[in-house]
C-alpha cells in the first residue's frame, strides 16, 4: 500500500501540476508542491476565498526547539492525529509528544492567531515541517485530510486514545475548514536533504472562516499517507510573535535563517599563512637583536 501511494505521488510530482479525478458529485484534486515557490488552491475545499497552500523559497531554520508546534504526528504508512489537551499517556491515533504541559501537542484559541493580509485578503498562517527519508520516492508525503473545528468552548479539550477522526464530527463542534477529498503532494527533498531546512508548507486560511469568540478553543485534525520516518509538526504564526530570531540566526520570525559562513579561498589562506609567518619572523629578529 505504501509503495503504491509513493508511486502515485511520484507521478503527480513528475507531472508538476494537478491531476483531477471524477467522483459521483464532486471533483477531487491532487496538487503537488514539487518545486520551490509553488502554490496550490482547491476549488472544492470549504473556504471562500480559497485557502492557499504554498512552499515559498526560504532557508528558515525549523525543527524542535526552533518552532512552537501545536500538533505532532508520526507513524509509518498512514499517520493521523488532532490537537488535544490530553496527557501524553492518553494521546489519540498517531498524535505524539504532549509532554511538558502541551509542549508539542495542544489546542489553541482563535485569539492566539496572528492575521496577515495578502492581496487584500486577511489570513491566518499555518506551517508544516515534514520529516521523511531523503532520496527517490521515499521523500514524498501526501496530505489527505485537514479539518479545523471550533469547539465553542474556552475549556481544555481532552479527547484521548480511542477517539477517531470521524468522532470529531459528532462532538457538536463547528467545522470551520475542510480540505475535502483533495490531496496535496509534498516532497521532503525540495529544500535539499537534511532535517531542519526550510518551511515545507505554508497554509493561508482566510480569517473569515474562523467564526466564534477569540477564546474559543480550536481543534486541528490532519492525516498523511506515504509516511516513513520522523515527526510531522504543525505550528502557526502567533499573535504577539517575537520579532527577534533565535541566537545564531537572522531575519524576522517566522523567516529565521542561518547566515552563510564565509570560508576564504585556498589562495587567501596561503597568503594569510605567509603573512603570519612573516610576522613571526620579524618577532624572532627583534628578539635576537635585543639579546645581542
The pTM for the full model equals: 0.76
Q: What is the DSSP letter of 187?
A: E
Same domain, 253 and 275: no
- Among left, alpha and beta (phi > 0; psi -120 to 50; other), residue 34 is alpha
Whether pLDDT at 18 is above 50: no
What mean pLDDT do residues 17-32 have? 55
Chain segment 101-121, per-residue pLDDT in tens = 657 899 999 999 999 888 889
Output 290 or 157, whichever has higher pLDDT.
Answer: 157
> Do both 208 and 288 map to the same domain?
no
Number of domains making up the chain: 2
Rg of the chain taking only CA atoms, in angstroms = 24
Whether residue 87 has pLDDT greater than 50: yes
Measure the CA–CA gap between 127 and 234, rounded to whole angstroms: 6
274 and 249 housed in the same domain: no
- The predicted-structure confidence for 88-98, as pLDDT tens digits, reads as follows 899 999 999 87
Per-residue pLDDT at 59: 63
Same domain, 21 and 100: yes
Residue 192 has a pLDDT of: 67
Q: Name the range with the highest mean pLDDT among 55-64, 104-113, 232-241.
A: 104-113
- End-to-end C-alpha distance for the chain, whole angstroms: 86
By DSSP bridging, strand 121-129 and strand 232-236 are antiparallel
The pair phi, psi for residue 177, each rounded to 5°, is: -145, 145
Average pLDDT across the chain, whole number: 78
Q: Say if residue 210 is in the same domain as residue 189.
A: yes
Q: Are residues 281 and 147 in the same domain?
A: no
Amino acid at each position: 500500500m505504501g509503495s503504491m501511494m509513493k508511486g502515485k505521488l511520484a507521478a503527480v510530482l513528475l507531472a508538476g501540476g494537478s491531476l483531477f479525478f471524477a467522483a459521483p458529485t464532486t471533483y477531487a484534486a491532487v496538487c503537488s508542491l514539487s518545486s520551490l515557490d509553488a502554490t496550490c488552491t482547491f476549488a472544492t475545499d470549504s473556504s471562500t476565498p480559497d485557502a492557499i497552500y504554498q512552499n515559498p523559497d526560504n532557508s528558515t531554520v525549523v525543527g524542535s526547539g526552533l518552532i512552537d508546534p501545536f500538533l505532532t504526528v508520526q507513524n509509518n504508512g498512514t499517520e493521523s492525529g488532532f490537537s488535544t489537551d490530553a496527557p501524553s499517556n492518553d494521546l489519540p491515533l498517531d498524535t505524539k509528544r504532549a509532554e511538558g504541559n502541551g509542549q508539542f501537542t495542544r489546542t489553541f484559541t482563535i485569539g492566539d492567531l496572528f492575521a496577515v493580509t495578502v492581496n487584500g485578503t486577511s489570513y491566518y498562517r499555518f506551517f508544516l515541517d515534514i520529516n521523511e527519508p531523503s532520496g527517490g520516492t521515499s521523500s514524498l508525503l501526501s496530505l489527505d485530510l485537514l479539518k479545523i473545528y471550533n469547539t465553542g468552548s474556552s475549556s481544555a479539550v481532552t479527547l484521548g486514545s480511542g477517539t477517531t477522526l470521524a468522532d470529531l464530527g459528532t462532538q457538536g463542534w463547528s467545522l470551520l475548514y475542510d480540505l475535502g477529498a483533495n490531496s496535496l503532494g509534498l516532497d521532503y527533498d525540495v529544500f535539499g536533504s537534511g532535517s531542519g531546512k526550510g518551511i515545507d508548507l505554508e497554509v493561508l486560511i482566510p480569517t473569515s472562516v474562523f467564526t466564534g469568540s477569540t477564546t474559543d478553543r480550536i481543534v486541528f485534525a490532519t492525516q498523511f499517507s506515504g509516511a516513513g520516518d520522523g515527526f510531522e509538526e504543525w505550528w502557526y504564526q502567533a499573535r504577539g510573535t517575537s520579532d527577534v530570531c533565535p541566537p545564531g540566526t537572522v531575519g524576522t520570525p517566522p523567516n529565521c535563517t542561518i547566515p552563510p559562513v564565509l570560508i576564504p579561498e585556498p589562495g587567501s589562506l596561503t597568503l594569510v599563512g605567509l603573512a603570519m609567518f612573516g610576522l613571526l619572523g620579524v618577532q624572532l629578529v627583534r628578539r635576537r637583536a635585543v639579546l645581542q
